[in-house]
Structure 1
């Protein structure tokens, strides 16, 4: 496997940046430091609930995460997670609650990462990705998998401990490969999932199985979903994907043979596209452009040589 982290400069992989946030993991077990950080006048926090937080649209066309000083935080019946420190020394916390607070002003609105992830600045995106991933894990892993006892939160939200058997449980991350496969004519293989509308195509993807390497996962998933045999595999970059717990690992891969045989279970249709064919199909409205915050769009744009064409209006 060769590696390459090159990205199209105008279209970086969403969620890939730290946003200038140092996660400061060494302080997560220091209760005195965490207490002092929480009470510091520059500390900022925000509420996360159900994968959403409050955001506000700015006058310059951007979107910002709504944060507040810690002394204004609604801490009643909430869990507090330390997210890190920015380059100005500001500490950030997320508060998990069953519902978002009443809107702080008429402009604030609830939004999740799918809606706001591509609109937020890198710092706000990094904070929200971290908070959403912790919130989801905390909600779904409240009991010890070893003895069944209810666990308690530790390490500023990054560990759950069992008071009965002493087991420690850590946030779960599920690796998945996502790949753009090309053939010897430099055509791209795109597939349409069974539940997608006509014309929506994207890259192939799948979860890494236990005891499997990333390269073998790319080869296996391509063969299972499209019947295409893959030879060379090149790593491009990764993207945290907290919907709910995935880490997407992006690859470019080269097919040994162009023969396609879809599985019919996950992929209903797969096609080879040249750049001219894909661009023309999008302009004609026959294929929906690969857009959004997923790394899939960045992989296709990397092969295409830039942003994909704009489809016809309507």
Structure 2
């Protein structure tokens, strides 16, 4: 089967309707006015979770006015087309149901999904960059949450993401290669993935990671789409590639189990409950369903 590009469908963590408004992050007068505005809305984030409100057909993040929001580090998330400013505040959550992206990402609309992904990513970065990597001094939050500055040496530090390739490998018999990590329970499998190394192209990372993890040679990696994965700060770059060898020689430190599946085999195992695929919010799920040709019921 020929797999065409652009068929991944909606990537649930790659949605957004709010302009990030980078030019306003250092405008202290505007920031003060927007924080005082009644229409401004605030998302409270703590440990990657926020308060949500469930509906019969979905969910929404709880948004508060600045007066209702608790005190804590404040990050500007942007401004929408109606001029509403959105902030995230890192603080203990108010009362209500708490959930993270894995639990409710697929239930949120485009605006709320984008806001929560953004807030989770910023919170995770700040949590691990409290100190200057040059001199060890405690840094301060500046640029409305988008920079940390060292008061001792004046260095500026910006949020970073770690690029990672994630790839669906298929062979000439139109089978897909799935693997299970050592920490995963038996039956849970996904496509292969790995981080891009310094000085490496994305295409080379695809070929290297597959060879290192399962000993399979691949060719012609094709880029299919990307999605943020803020657990804690990855950007997943999706590829599809064809295997030129099929014998598996797995690295046991990376892969506990790996095998090829035809469509009929995958369907039978999913239906029997002996195979569980990645959740709906994952780009891995979209890659598998693109190869399969239609949505697959069930997930992790």
**TM interval, short-chain normalised:** over 0.9
CA distance in structure 2 between the partners assigned to 1:163 and 1:310 by the alignment: 51
When residues 48 and 310 of structure 1 are mapped into structure 2, their CA distance, relative to the original with a 3 A threshold, is: closer
Separation in structure 1 between the aligned mates of residue 275 and residue 245 of structure 2, nearest angstrom: 24
- Alpha-carbon displacement from aligned partner over 1:10-58 (angstroms, at most 9, x marks no partner): xx1121112x110011111111111111112211112111111111112
Q: Which ranges of structure 2 fall in alignment gaps of 5 or more residues?
A: none
What secondary structure, in the 3-state scheme, does the structure 1 residue paired with 2:203 have?
helix
Question: Do the aligned partners of 1:3 and 1:235 also contact (CA within 8 Å) in 2?
Answer: no
- Residue of 249, 252, 265 corresponding to 2:240: 252
Q: Which residue of 2 aligns with 1:90?
A: 84
Shift, 1:300, TM fit? 0.1
SS in 2 for 1:135: helix
How many pairs are equivalent? 297
1:6 aligned partner: 7
Cα deviation code 1:244-268 (max 9, x no counterpart)? 0111111101111112111111112
- Aligned to 1:233, the other structure's residue is in SS state strand
Question: What are the superposed Cα offsets for residues 100-140 of structure 1, whole Å, 9 maximum, x if unpaired?
Answer: 12x1xxxx311111111111111111101111111111121
Aligned match of 1:238 in 226, 233, 236? 226
Mapped pair 1:39 → 2:32:
no
Structure 1's unaligned 5+ residue stretches are: none
Indicate conservation of the 8 Å contact 1:225/1:267, yes or no.
Answer: yes
Alpha-carbon offset, residue 73 of structure 1: 2.1
Could you give the per-residue CA deviations for residues 175-217 of structure 1, whole angstroms, max 9, x where no partner exists? 1110000111121111111222222211000111111111011
Contact 1:5–1:235 (CA under 8 A) maintained in structure 2: no
Is residue 67 from structure 1 mapped to residue 60 from structure 2 by the alignment? no
Match among 156, 169, 180 for residue 181 of structure 1? 169
> Match of 1:235, SS?
strand
Q: Which of 208, 220, 223 is residue 220 of structure 1 equivalent to?
A: 208
- Structure 1 residue 86 displacement after superposition: 1.6
- In the alignment, does 2:149 pair up with 1:149? no
Aligned to 2:74: 80
TM-superposed CA distance for 1:4, in Å, is 3.3
Tell me which residue corresponds to 2:114.
Answer: 126
C-alpha distance in structure 2 between counterparts of 1:159 and 1:310, whole Å = 40
In the other structure, the counterpart of 2:22 is 25
Which residue is 2:156 aligned to? 168
TM-score (norm 1): 0.91
Please give the TM-score of this superposition, normalised by the length of structure 2.
0.95
SS in 1 for 2:187: coil
Counterparts of residues 134-145 of structure 1 (less than 5 Å): 134-145=122-133
Separation in 2, partners of 1:291, 1:46: 24
Q: How many Å separate the matches in 1 of 2:19 and 2:247?
A: 47
The Cα offsets for residues 214-253 of structure 1, whole Å up to 9 and x where unpaired, read as 1011000000111000111001111111110111111101
User: Is the counterpart of residue 277 in structure 1 residue 265 in structure 2?
Assistant: yes
Seen in structure 2, the aligned counterparts of structure 1 residues 21 and 116 have a Cα distance that, compared at 3 Å, is same
Q: Aligned with 1:83: secondary structure? A: strand
